[in-house]
Structure 1
Amino acid sequence: MTAVAERAPVQARRNGPLSRQNLVATIATGYVPIVLATLVVVLPLLWMILASFKGPGELLTQTPSVLPESFAPTNYTEAAEKVPFGRLFFNSVLVTAIGAGIKVALAVLTAYALVFVRFPGKKIIFALVLATLMVPPQVSLLPNYVLITGLGGADTYWGIILPGLATGFGTFLLRQQFLTLPASILEAAEIDGASHWKRLTRIVVPISTPAIATVALVSIVFEWNEYLWPLVIVSDPNMMTLPVGLTLLQNSESGADGYGLVMAGTVLVIVPVLVVFTAFQRYIVSGLTQGAVKD
């Protein structure tokens, strides 16, 4: 009896949370994949930032070094001289703010209507919204170009913004979130005479702030990084956005001598969206999981 009692604590220590077996399993299945995934994402960004401070002789060499010889922003000043980054930054901010703002507003209104407004054909409309998620955006590139140019939207802000205002992902995510809201609260507000607009602005939106912030973040990142459509619809350098401006910068340089300038321009493009992503990242997990319980 005493031997059995002595073996029990030993067995508990072997199978406990700090046992060698559990520590090895935690490191192998948890920390190692996280570290590898982080390195895959971080190392290219780190190399790009370091390369933006290197000259052609440091980039085109058989014995490359990790750190640049000098952190002088020479590439940044030369890139700003060749391409009007101030104007391109203004264009990107304007297009992103207006486009993402309207996109989020339309997603909120559409999701609210699909959940709380009674009208015929609601399920068919939602099925069509889901169908848009399965269609690559490149498929609509030519029809949108013909339509926008026919309306005189080439080289205009509204021509860049208009084709991307709808968001099937945002509508779907917010609809799933709105379905989880307590029906008793909205029914009580309806009995008290609250209109749809008051129910939306005073009840639905405040409760669903994380999900709406997630949609806003995804929309901002998409609008800021959009490349193909602005490249097609814009030919005036003063109307280009930052991603398209990188093409303008690359075309202004010949050969591999301009790698440092292109890296500097790329850093200027990604830094603002990284700042926004960092500010909104705490909403992502809660926003994506709020609508995952009820269908």
Structure 2
Amino acid sequence: MKRDSGGWLASVVLHAVLIGLAVAAITPLVWLVLTALKPKADLATVFVTWDGLGRLGLHNFSELFAKHALLAWMLNSLFLACTQTVLTVLLACLGGFALAKHRFAGKRILLWIMLATMMLPAQAMLPASYELMWKLGWLNTWQAILVPCSVSVFGMLLFRGAFAAVPDELLQAARIDGAGEFRLWWDIAVPCVRPMIGAFSLLAFTGAWNAFIWPQVILSDSRSLTLPIAATALMGTAEGETNFGLVMAITVIGIAPVLVLFFALQRDFVAGLTSGAVKG
């Protein structure tokens, strides 16, 4: 009887803690959405009163579309994020397969070099990267964002772990049947790591969608800005003061695609990140 009461009490405490953590995690998101729906006169209020509920609306969103190039910013972000995600996943998948299933001279040294590059902060490479883009004539162009940002060492290492779990006997049997390396990769290896593709696609899209520092350095045309840069550009544009309603509205628009993609790929996200731990 004591064991049952102790287990019941532990379950209640555990669920109470989990509910508290969930509320703490959701509260900022709810506050963000409510602030985006408030008119400018109610932005100073922390909580939404009963009288204020009737004034909630899409005023800030309509102002963004009417007075700012919001549609262009959204299309820019969507194009860059989708294109970069496809390129990043493709290159990481190819590189991971080569590292996991092929033997070549200098492979171990290459892995150490790849790991070393991950230890360098991205900000330390900004001056050299900017000078390279300037010499190539790529300033204020999208290829200056897509080309450098589509190579992910982290992604290659993730796929290396996932492809390592694919049986070598399966690939060897396909080679005996006359399959080439590309067919081995596409028809046999890739279907085995689909959860990893979903998981890394989510990571790649989120990183590309939220990218700020490098696009801000490269892009200067107001029509070519992405949503994160545009959100900071709205700070202090309303006659010397910040209209936080507009900032919160564009933030809501910015996080919506990531949330939708996460809920769509959450099973693949968990399965993909744990699949590489099966075999080293």
Give me the TM-score of the superposition, normalised by structure 2: 0.93
In the alignment, structure 1 segments of 5+ residues that lack a partner are 1-12
| CA pair 101-53 structure 1, distance change in 2 beyond 3 A | same
Supply the distance in 2 between the matched residues of 1:153 and 1:239 (Cα, whole angstroms).
14
2:140–2:221 CA contact under 8 A, matched in 1: yes
Tell me the C-alpha RMSD between the 2 structures. 1.7
Larger radius of gyration between Structure 1 and Structure 2: 1
1:56–1:257 CA contact under 8 A, matched in 2: no
> Which residue pairs with 2:94 in the alignment?
109
Task: Supply the AA of the counterpart residue of 1:245.
Answer: A
> What is the aligned length?
278
- Aligned residue for 2:155, secondary structure, equals helix
Q: Deviations over 1:95-123 (max 9, x none)?
A: 11111111111101111111112210111
> Which residue pairs with 1:233 in the alignment?
218
- Structure 1 residue 27, shift from structure 2 partner: 3.3
From 103, 119, 126, the counterpart of 1:134? 119
- Structure 1 residue 255, shift from structure 2 partner: 5.3
From 257, 261, 264, the counterpart of 1:279? 264
Q: Deviations over 1:213-270 (max 9, x none)?
A: 1111100000000011111111101111111111222242245561111111111111
| CA pair 33-174 structure 1, distance change in 2 beyond 3 A | farther
- Aligned residue for 2:234, secondary structure, equals helix
2:236–2:242 CA contact under 8 A, matched in 1: no
> Which residue pairs with 2:73 in the alignment?
88
> Which residue pairs with 1:43 in the alignment?
27
Task: Supply the AA of the counterpart residue of 2:225.
Answer: M
Q: Which moved more, 1:72-81 or 1:229-238?
A: 72-81
- Aligned residue for 1:135, secondary structure, equals coil
Supply the distance in 2 between the matched residues of 1:215 and 1:53 (Cα, whole angstroms).
33
> Which residue pairs with 1:14 in the alignment?
2
Give runs of aligned pairs for residues 60-209 of structure 1, distance below 5 A: 60-61=44-45, 64-65=47-48, 68-209=53-194
- Aligned residue for 1:214, secondary structure, equals helix
Give runs of aligned pairs for residues 21-32 of structure 1, distance below 5 A: 21-28=6-13, 30-32=14-16
| CA pair 237-124 structure 1, distance change in 2 beyond 3 A | same
- Structure 1 residue 148, shift from structure 2 partner: 0.9
2:88–2:152 CA contact under 8 A, matched in 1: yes
